[in-house]
Structure 1
Amino acid sequence: MKSKLILAAAAACALAVPAIGQDAPEHIASLYRAAPGQQVALLKWMAKQDQAAIAAGVAPAQIYVHTSGDSWDYLVINPVTTKAQDDAVDAAAKKMGLSTGPRASIEFRTMIATHTDTTTIGPRTAAQILTALGEK
């Protein structure tokens, strides 16, 4: 029985449908729910991160503010960056007196209750996705 489960799992992995056109992720879409009373502190922290990104030549985050529906506060879309870009942002942040590395992660987590990160490609229209899939 155990070997059948392993074989079935291996087959599922082998037959999995690849991402559209095997495109590399272009963005990181993150949903944040601020910790109670931390909305302003979180926005200030994100604004400083944007300043460091801009100083390093990296696009700032695009932030969408929740108005109704689910329990998230902010949808944040950032570009997927290279190691060199990450290093440049860290250098700019350090120059600005901001925390970097694990310290920045711990600082950030004091301002959020939950978050999720998802890599994405896009934006694309439905027609572009269908073309990538070989559909008309």
Structure 2
Amino acid sequence: MKINADGMTPIYVQIAQWLETEILTGSLAQEEKVYSQYQLAEMYNINPATAAKGLKILADEGILYKKRGLGMFVSPNAQQMIQEKRKNETLRHLVVDLVLEAERLGIDDDELTDIIRQVRSESRGDA
């Protein structure tokens, strides 16, 4: 992952989002130890305190948990928690924007559904 220091999203949030994606894709499995703040700081050439903030976000949400003296680990239901979080936050915001734009363009529900099916098919390589 590349960190965008000039972007709108704070670096610690980017770290948390990257770790979430690693969990969703299975690169980090449940009960697996995650990178320490010092490892993340070295990987991305950032301050360890910034990396720690990213880890803390996920710990506060229950996605990671701390084993005293051993580090942070992926919680047993982390994938499901991330899926729900992204579905309820990220995906919902995207859909709201999509629906509002469709309304501005005069696209009805059937046409919008067809567009979504077409894009989904193309992204799978079905087309």
Q: Which has the larger radius of gyration?
A: 1
Scaled by the length of structure 1, what TM-score is found?
Answer: 0.30
Q: Which structure's residues are more often strand, by fraction?
A: 1
Scaled by the length of structure 2, what TM-score is found?
Answer: 0.31
Report 1 or 2 for greater relative contact order, CA contacts < 8 Å, sequence distance ≥ 6.
1
